[in-house]
Amino acid sequence: MPYIMVGEERIFYTYHRGADPQSPAMLLVHGAGGNHQYWGFAIRHLKEAAVYALDLPGHGRSNGSGRANIADYADFLARFMDALGLVKAIVAGHSMGGAIAMTMALRHPDRVAGLVLVGTGARLRVLPAILEGTLHDFERTIAMICEYAYSPNAPEELVHQGQRQMLRVAPQVIHGDFAACNAFDVMERLGEIHCPTLIICGSEDKLTPPKYAAFLAEHIAGAELTLIEGAGHMVMMEKPDLVASAIASALARWRKR
């Protein structure tokens, strides 16, 4: 799997070439404390796009430092695109990654061909127990986050796998991610987003419930909303085939525009 230098940071990503040489580039951006594997296999291997799934700095196999705010992550993503030689891409983001994707569309609109917003919202308030616990009771707090993040239908091993992966991230990085989420708010700026947008949410999402997705769909012009029944916040891990199908259908519609 490839690495690329973005400034002085060595960034890990996976790449899957689309079936069509003209397939659009798509970046998969994970959420707080996550990594590229939080995007299910079927999503990372979409045949309708050239898919790049990265580990953000300080996450997964990437070195470097986590960022203090969402804008800094968005600016990093633009530099990641520069390093890859990508002029424009569809940006798909989950949770914090969705905040990064929306911020990309606001700060770097000429770089964003479309948005896929998964389990996210225009504002991402974080429980004080999470903000404090990531610094003072890390393991217990990660267990609590995972309890909220998955639906009751999720396989126990899937939940444990997610918990193990988050525990590998430095506490200060995860704390910084959630602090960045807590400060994020673009509720008054959604009307400035003018690219094709697909919004996906699990019907059982407790962290960014369907009303968050509905708000995005109502305030981003032309946005489409897909609700995945029976899935929680980690919808792209719990129901990867359904999420992949929803994205593939949207990409097909966008290409006809």
Mean pLDDT of the chain: 96
Give the model's pLDDT for residue 1: 65
The first and second tokens of residue 82, run together, are 């520069």
Euclidean distance between the first and the last CA atom of the chain, given in angstroms as a whole number: 34
pLDDT of 126 over the 70 cut? yes
Could you report the per-residue pLDDT of 137-159, keeping only the tens digit for each? 999 999 999 999 999 989 999 99
pLDDT of 225 over the 80 cut? yes
DSSP string for the chain: --EEEETTEEEEEEEE--SSTTPPEEEEE--TT--GGGS-HHHHT-TTSEEEEEPPTTSTT--S---SSHHHHHHHHHHHHHHHT-S-EEEEEETHHHHHHHHHHHH-GGGEEEEEEES--SB----HHHHHHHHHSHHHHHHHHHHHHS-TTS-HHHHHHHHHHHHTS-HHHHHHHHHHHHH-B-TTTGGG--S-EEEEEETT-SSS-HHHHHHHHHHSTT-EEEEETT--TTHHHHSHHHHHHHHHHHHHHHHT-
Angle between helices 128-136 and 171-183 (to 10 degrees): 160
For the entire predicted model, the pTM comes to: 0.97
What is the three-state SS of 84-98? HCCCCEEEEEECHHH
Number of domains the chain is built from: 1
**Higher confidence at residue 131 or residue 19?**
131
pLDDT of 257 over the 80 cut? no
Please tell me the distance from the alpha carbon of residue 174 to that of residue 29, in angstroms, as a whole number: 15
CATH number at residue 43: 3.40.50.1820
Residue identified by tokens 């707090």 is 141
pLDDT of 85 over the 70 cut? yes
Could you report the per-residue pLDDT of 232-253, keeping only the tens digit for each? 999 999 999 999 999 999 999 9
Could you report the per-residue pLDDT of 37-72, keeping only the tens digit for each? 999 999 999 999 999 999 999 999 999 999 999 999
Please tell me the distance from the alpha carbon of residue 256 to that of residue 103, in angstroms, as a whole number: 26
Could you report the per-residue pLDDT of 20-39, keeping only the tens digit for each? 888 999 999 999 999 999 99
CB 28 within 8 A of CB 52: yes
Domain, as residue range, for 116: 3-255
The first and second tokens of residue 36, run together, are 């590229």
Longest Cα pair distance anywhere in the chain, in angstroms? 51
Residue percentage of the chain with pLDDT more than 90: 96
SS3 251: helix
Please tell me the distance from the alpha carbon of residue 112 to that of residue 31, in angstroms, as a whole number: 19
pLDDT of 209 over the 90 cut? yes
Please tell me the distance from the alpha carbon of residue 169 to that of residue 110, in angstroms, as a whole number: 32
Give the model's pLDDT for residue 191: 98
